[in-house]
Amino acid sequence: MSSRDAILSRIRTALANEPERHLPPIPEVWPVENPPVDQMAGKFVEELEAVTGEVHRCPSMEAAAEKLAGLVEELGAARIGRTDHELCTELTRDLPPECFVVDDPDPDPTELAKLPAGLVAADTLLADTGTSMVACATPHHRLMCYLPPVCIIVAKTDQLVEHMPAAWEKIAARTADPDLRGEFVFITGPSRTADIEKILILGVHGPKRLIVLLVG
């Protein structure tokens, strides 16, 4: 057993012998007022479009699938990547399976970077900043958020919350579950930087284009 394995083994043993852990209290940063969904959806669209993100409101999953098919055709893509999230599976159910590269337990980043787009599913939407929270349980999930030049996110309006404190209970429960792995990726618009002569450049550290299919 290597030194690393020995250290990890001791940590796992110590954690297993801990008393039952309780979720941390929800931080009182802003009051949770639970505004109407339509109001939150409008705020989400406004904030995301302000940072050059794109939002397509779709009344149904069928309409979202038609929009996705149109986007794939627009990109001239033979295949795009996608995760195995249930929303992605539902969205692509009636589309040709050969059009999608689905989760690989040992993904090759070089190959994934060649894909013109990646489809991921949001876990939660923060209306006040136009942010999509994506739970990345595997390396493939995480790489789909960063490597393809176009990131397509599917989400439903019932995933909208007004701000981070309103989402904290859900986040805390997920992070406290020992059976769940990975991390959250927070996506607010295309990747951007202004480090070079203070000129705004898109797509340097991630996708140059962000598209959200908001269903409902």
Mean pLDDT over each residue of the chain, to the nearest integer: 87
pTM of the model: 0.82
Nearby residues of 79 by Cβ (< 8 Å), 6 or more positions away: 98, 99, 100, 101, 115
SS3 131: strand
Q: Around Cβ 183, how many Cβ atoms within 10 Å?
A: 11
| Tens digits of residue pLDDT in 161-184 | 999 989 988 888 877 777 777 788
Stretch (H or E) spanning 132: strand 131-136
CA of 163: how far to CAs of 44, 47, 146, 152, in Å? 10, 12, 24, 22
Residue with tokens 């990345």: 136
Cα–Cα distance, 46 to 169 (Å, whole number): 25
Which amino acid belongs to residue 86?
E
> What is the chain's pLDDT, residue by residue, as a tens digit (216 residues)?
688 888 888 877 776 766 666 666 655 677 888 899 999 999 999 999 999 999 999 999 999 999 999 999 999 988 999 999 999 999 999 988 888 988 877 889 999 989 999 999 999 999 999 999 999 988 888 899 989 999 999 999 999 999 998 998 888 887 777 777 778 899 998 876 766 677 666 656 678 899 999 999
Class of domain 36-215: alpha beta
| Tens digits of residue pLDDT in 74-90 | 999 889 999 999 999 99
Cα–Cα distance, 214 to 94 (Å, whole number): 18
Instruction: Kindly list the domain boundaries of the chain, sorted by start residue.
Output: 36-215
Cα–Cα distance, 41 to 35 (Å, whole number): 10
